[in-house]
Structure 1
Amino acid sequence: MTGPSATEAKAELRRLLETLERQRTSVMQRVCGPDVPEPWAVYPGESGVFDRASRSQFYYHRHEPSDHEAGHFHTVRLFRDRVAHLVGISMAPDGWPQALFTVNLWLVGDGEESVSNLKTYVRRFRLDERQAEADMSRAGSDASRPLMAAVICFVNLVFQAFLSDIEALQVEKARAIEQYRKSHGGSDPFDDRSVEVLSRIAIDVRA
């Protein structure tokens, strides 16, 4: 069964965000609750939202207070012994996504993956609401299920609406890694704390 086209997914994503605006809330508030999120804390709970069947997971956090970003969602592919970071979703203060980016391996402790593998994981990324609810319940998460439904829908729609961009970011990430190696005598950037973002693209859901 195929999902919506990128154009259809983008329109659906726009409607979802507009609905949340009318309700005077946002996906960030849905995932963090009424309190201001603590810098570097993971939301919701300690393990975010995950679907063991699809091996998909996402969580939200923010760094120190910033004027240009409210925070971001990290999305990963789960394995028994590691994770593969797929893409970050940067959120503007108004509650709308503003950019997509990939990160250096040290940020999430993942292992190096080929571009081909990462593209495959991106295409397969999706959380089923009921499966995620069951998995979170078994893990003892106290996240509100009704509130999480909109957030799960949001993350899934971002992948559907911007699939080609997310795949392209994996190529740019690999190029950035190779460029680093060329300029650093063949050394990998994976433990270089000065290198965080490897590729990034601005997005506009309203366009």
Structure 2
Amino acid sequence: MGDLDLLTQDELEALTEAAREVALCARVLAKTGDNVISEVLRGAGPFYEWRHYPPSDVYDSEYHAQFYYHAHPPEERVEGEHGHFHTFLRPLGMPEGIRPVALPDLEPDEDGNDALAHLVGISMDRSGRPIRLFTTNRWVTGETWYRAEDVIRMLDGFVVDHARPSWPLNRWITALVRFYRPRITTLLMQRDAAVARWQTDHPDSYVYDDRGLEVPSETAVDLDSDMAAVEAAMRRMRRGLRQAGGRR
């Protein structure tokens, strides 16, 4: 989780609240033997590689956040992965002033809401727990490319606030992106650095369409350990605030 002691009180409290929400959603699902994977696949029939679940993705028309779940063939998955979520934000949900990078092949956004940005991928194990966060090159999801700094500004706008296909699933993925905001921020900065290096090392390639670069940055995650780290940092901050108050 990085150096949590460098976060402000507001930032740390936001992570703590997000952790509680993630844990709550997992707990209520577990009471009926479910998890977020069983929720996104509910009623879908056989699970096919590459297919989007649900078929039309999950899209919040108020916040313009979007996600879907899918899986690659077993030989293309990281160890322990069942499948992964891809998360996005569409232009109508983005902060003011954000524009795509002016790449040579940038296509006009005719309806004003098609130039979506990929935020982060979330690899899941079979039990419904996240095991990895990763970014993607442009060709992977067909996204429109935005600078890492702008995608970081989009993270707080990823909100899925409706009941379909699953209220606890939507709340869980919203809270998970918020909980891992510091890690995602680092991954996005690493993404842009990796893309720049690749273009320098492969001058004859157009990096954004180069199949040799699929995942510019990734990191393993351990949700229990990461939540415990946030709780410990929150305790240290509260203890420090009490001590500072006692010295006045």
The reply to whether TM is greater than 0.5 is yes
The answer to which structure has the higher strand fraction is: 1
Contact 2:89–2:157 at 8 Å: present in 1 too?
Answer: no
Contact 1:63–1:71 at 8 Å: present in 2 too?
Answer: yes
1:70 is aligned to 82
TM-score (ref. length: structure 1): 0.83
Identity %: 31
Structure-2 separation of matches of 1:119 and 1:69 = 26
Q: Report the alpha carbon displacement of residue 36 of structure 1 after superposing the two structures with TM.
A: 3.8
TM-score (ref. length: structure 2): 0.70
Equivalent residue letter for 2:47: P
Structure-2 separation of matches of 1:157 and 1:171 = 21
Q: Report the alpha carbon displacement of residue 55 of structure 1 after superposing the two structures with TM.
A: 1.6
Q: Report the alpha carbon displacement of residue 164 of structure 1 after superposing the two structures with TM.
A: 1.0
Contact 1:10–1:205 at 8 Å: present in 2 too?
Answer: no
1:175-190 matched pairs, under 5 angstroms: 175-185=193-203, 187-190=205-208
2:41 is aligned to 32
The answer to which structure has the higher helix fraction is: 2
Structure-1 separation of matches of 2:137 and 2:144 = 10
Structure-2 separation of matches of 1:23 and 1:189 = 46
Structure-1 separation of matches of 2:63 and 2:20 = 25
- Equivalent of residue 42 in structure 1, options 34, 52, 61: 52
1:120 is aligned to 153
SS at match of 1:87: strand
2:169 is aligned to 151
- Equivalent of residue 108 in structure 1, options 112, 122, 141: 141
2:100 is aligned to none
Equivalent residue letter for 2:200: K
Runs of 4 or more above 6 Å deviation: none
Deviations, residues 71-99 of structure 1 (Å, cap 9, x unaligned): 11100111423211110111012210111
Equivalent residue letter for 1:96: R
Equivalent residue letter for 1:69: E
Contact 1:69–1:93 at 8 Å: present in 2 too?
Answer: yes
Structure-1 separation of matches of 2:46 and 2:199 = 40
- Equivalent of residue 128 in structure 2, options 95, 104, 113: 95
Structure-2 separation of matches of 1:127 and 1:175 = 30
Structure-2 separation of matches of 1:183 and 1:69 = 31
Deviations, residues 106-160 of structure 1 (Å, cap 9, x unaligned): 011112211221111112211222xxx5xxxxxxxxxxx3x51011011111112
Answer with 1 or 2: which has the greater Rg: 2
Structure-2 separation of matches of 1:85 and 1:104 = 9
Ranges in structure 1 where 5+ consecutive residues have no aligned partner? 134-144
Question: Are 1:195 and 2:213 counterparts?
Answer: yes
2:17 is aligned to 8
SS at match of 1:38: coil
Structure-2 separation of matches of 1:7 and 1:162 = 11
2:178 is aligned to 160
Superposed CA RMSD in Å reads: 2.0
Alignment coverage as a number of residue pairs: 190
In structure 2, the CA distance between the partners of 1:36 and 1:21, relative to structure 1 (3 Å rule), is farther
